[in-house]
Amino acid sequence: MAQDIQPLPQDSSSDALFNLKLPIRYNLDRIFAIATWIATAVGLVVLAILLFDILADGLPRLNWQFITSTASRRASAAGIIVPLVGSIYLLVLVAIISFPLGVGAGIFLEEYATDNLVTRIIEINIANLAAVPSIIYGLLGLGVFVRWMQPITGGRSILAAALTLSLLILPIIIVATREALRTVPDSLRQAGYALGATRWQVIREQIFPLALPGILTGTILALSRAIGETAPLIVVGALSFITTLPTGLQSSFSALPIQIFDWVSRPQTAFQQNAAAAIIVLLLVLLLMNTTAIILRNKFQSNR
């Protein structure tokens, strides 16, 4: 015999309380949205003011003679060819050293390493190293690459600086690589194993190509940080006044951040204008590097 279905009793007090709290929640959401828009607008306004000030001071000084001239005691004759070549040299070396090491470490920790105490300690240390001040890496580079490995690096050389900056950005690349690998569905791994492929074949043919756009994004951010660092370069021996281009890995060197720091610290207005022009060149180099990496990332993304 069918029984009559009685509706469940509703708690009118809880419904009334929920209806009372609902407008408050919506208002809090609106306040939070307004706060985020204000924070974004303040950041953009400050950035626009800084860019306008730099462009106003630097564009009149920026010309071909300024780019191709070497260092000079006179502001009107000083140029940035030596630090510009040094920065590009450093950027290439850092990318060659840090990218394979960081990506390889990320692949090992994510795809091969087992979940045990040692792995957890390594993961915690990598996450903590990403927040260590850059001056600490400079002191480490001074002790290890400049002094202890002097027969290999040549002491205060461009190779020692590149190795120091590579240590600085390695944690960022490792973390970005692991996060990119985690975005790949695990079903692709299982499908590859089911077809008889080895773990390395699955990673090389399926996982790594899909994760490469995310890995390149993390590498772009890491290299962008490295190209603007000043403190580690000062510690490992970058020169602010040098007239010879680097000829090898053990050569003395300069870099755009070092030259900018030197000119900004001088009281003469002409040197301040030189610093602003050098900042514009550094921004252009950074934009060119980012554009190249973004094009490569989009190409791999479309191939996927």
In angstroms, rounded to a whole number, what is the distance separating the alpha carbons of residues 271 and 283?
Answer: 18
How confident is residue 45, by pLDDT bands cut at 50, 70 and 90? very high
In angstroms, rounded to a whole number, what is the distance separating the alpha carbons of residues 190 and 186?
Answer: 6
pLDDT per position as a tens digit, 274-287: 888 889 998 888 88
Say if residues 221 and 179 touch (Cβ distance below 8 Å): no
pLDDT per position as a tens digit, 113-154: 887 888 888 888 888 887 788 888 888 888 888 889 888 888
Of 4, 224, 2, the C-alpha closest to 95 is 224
Torsion angles phi and psi, residue 280, rounded to 5: -60, -45
Say if residues 81 and 68 touch (Cβ distance below 8 Å): yes
Domains of the chain: 64-303 (1.10.3720.10)
In angstroms, rounded to a whole number, what is the distance separating the alpha carbons of residues 50 and 252?
Answer: 32
Structure tokens at 276: 């602003």
Say if residues 152 and 186 touch (Cβ distance below 8 Å): no
- Look at residue 229 and give its three-state secondary structure: coil
pLDDT per position as a tens digit, 84-115: 888 888 989 999 999 999 999 889 888 888 87
Torsion angles phi and psi, residue 61, rounded to 5: -90, -15
This prediction's pTM: 0.80
In angstroms, rounded to a whole number, what is the distance separating the alpha carbons of residues 11 and 24?
Answer: 21
Say if residues 62 and 280 touch (Cβ distance below 8 Å): yes
Give mean pLDDT, residues 173-189.
87
